[in-house]
Amino acid sequence: MIELINVRKSYDGKTFVIDDISIQIREGEFFVLVGPSGCGKSTLLRMIAGLETITEGQLKIAGKEMNFAHPSERHLSMVFQNYALYPHLTVEENIALGLYGKKMLKKEKRKKCLEVSEMLGLTEYMKKKPRHLSGGQRQRVALARAIVAETPICLMDEPLSNLDAKLRSHMRTYIRQLQRQLGMTMIYVTHDQVEAMTMSDRMMVLCDGRIQQVGEPLQVYNSPSNVFVASFIGSPPMNMAKVQRLYDSFLLQHEWIVKIAGDAHVPNECVTIGVRPEHIRLAHSHEPHVLLEVIHVERLGTETLVTLRLTEHDQWIARWHGQYQIEVGQQVRIAIDDERIIFFDDKGRRVKREGDSYAAYGETSY
């Protein structure tokens, strides 16, 4: 288990790029750090690895404090974004670097390298140099070098960002299956929320060096703790709109009545609603609806993404399963089920409903 207790990082002694991070990462867990560029996720990973010093707080690995331990004493391996392969060495020699410093016979090292290369499908490339490999093959060599060391912890810093979309999808599945097979504790850094959703056991959403939310992927998706998480997690992102209070309802676009669900404790200062694209639907003829203009259509085969003009300055995106013959400029009847609407207060925090299992940062211990 890895534990961070009130960890902070500052380069100038004034501004904290990592601010008061407390988290427990369980043994054998695939844990993802996700957030926009510059939010501090790579810095946090490097602090765990021992490549960056910790300004304040405590890092524990397997119950032992590791703040000042050398990287080699932390029993972990790391996979970098740029693969970090030596161009003058063969694939076998690059993999063998993962065993550097271990007291093993040359024959034993070669045997371990062959076992790992077979696991990752690299056997036929062992005598080749990295320049003769594709991006996906180079990534597997970097993985093999991390795995051959048999460390209980593996850190990954945006390892798939240099790959094309199809290969990235394949490698996501590959890495996840490999982690389950080996039982390693894996900490994975990415700015891609699709990677975070599809790979993680749990994820931590970061912004400006602070925790926004920690939870299982669907928990974070369905119950975002604030406006930032709601808009960052999800593709397309959650639709947002300012609303005006009207007794037990809200008024949107001066005509669309949004009712407050009975189990939502909505304060008077609630000013924003959020709706996922898949929860915007075509209205039935007998139910309340609003007419919105279609301004863009994306037909993806299995689903259709329709961009709607909500107001003069605001647009919403609807995701409908299947294929729809809808044209730009067309007026469509739109409805949203009240229980699908998420409310946010004037500080951007999600308003809880009865039965909510999530907690915003600071309300529970991670």
* Distances 221 to 138, 216, 217, 280 between C-alpha atoms, Å: 33, 9, 6, 16
Q: Are strands 303-309 and 315-321 parallel, antiparallel or unpaired?
A: antiparallel
Q: Are strands 210-215 and 239-242 parallel, antiparallel or unpaired?
A: unpaired
Mean pLDDT on 240-245: 80
Q: What is the pLDDT of residue 263?
A: 52
Residue 103 has pLDDT above 90, yes or no: no
Give the Cα-Cα-Cα angle 278, 41, 185 (nearest 5 degrees).
90
Higher-pLDDT residue of 351, 279: 279
* Distances 3 to 60, 73, 103, 165, 215 between C-alpha atoms, Å: 5, 16, 30, 34, 16
What is the C-alpha separation between 217 and 202, in angstroms, rounded?
6
265 confidence band (pLDDT: 50, 70, 90)? low
pLDDT digits (tens, 9 = 90+) for 42-73: 999 999 999 999 999 999 999 999 999 999 89
Q: What is the pLDDT of residue 337?
A: 81
Which of these, 58, 34, 21, 27, lies nearest to 195 by C-alpha position? 34
Residue 211 has pLDDT above 50, yes or no: yes
Cβ atoms within 10 Å of 117's Cβ, excluding its own: 21
Q: What is the pLDDT of residue 100?
A: 78
Partner residues linked to 156 by β-bridges? 79, 188
Q: What is the pLDDT of residue 132?
A: 92
Residue 364 has pLDDT above 60, yes or no: no
Which of these, 286, 214, 234, lies nearest to 25 by C-alpha position? 214
Give the domains, in start order, of the chain with CATH numbers. 2-227 (3.40.50.300), 237-344 (2.40.50.140)
pLDDT digits (tens, 9 = 90+) for 297-337: 999 999 999 999 987 788 999 999 999 989 999 999 888 88
Q: What is the pLDDT of residue 247?
A: 66
Residue 7 has pLDDT above 90, yes or no: yes
Q: What is the pLDDT of residue 202?
A: 97
Residue 77 has pLDDT above 70, yes or no: yes
Higher-pLDDT residue of 288, 240: 240
Token digits for 146? 């991390």
204 confidence band (pLDDT: 50, 70, 90)? very high
Partner residues linked to 21 by β-bridges? 7
Percent of the chain with pLDDT over 90: 48
What is the C-alpha separation between 36 and 192, in angstroms, rounded?
8
Higher-pLDDT residue of 76, 252: 76
Across the beta sheet with 244-246, the strand order is 244-246, 249-252, 256-259
Residue 358 has pLDDT above 60, yes or no: no
226 confidence band (pLDDT: 50, 70, 90)? very high
Query: To the nearest whole number, what is the mean pLDDT of the chain?
Result: 86
pLDDT digits (tens, 9 = 90+) for 152-201: 999 999 888 877 888 788 888 888 988 898 899 999 999 998 999 999 99
Lowest mean pLDDT among 59-63, 88-92, 142-146: 142-146
Higher-pLDDT residue of 262, 95: 95
Lowest mean pLDDT among 99-108, 182-191, 221-230, 334-343: 99-108
What is the C-alpha separation between 221 and 148, in angstroms, rounded?
35
Q: What is the pLDDT of residue 8?
A: 95
Percent of the chain with pLDDT over 70: 89
Q: What is the pLDDT of residue 366?
A: 36
Token digits for 88? 């003058």
Q: What is the pLDDT of residue 177?
A: 87
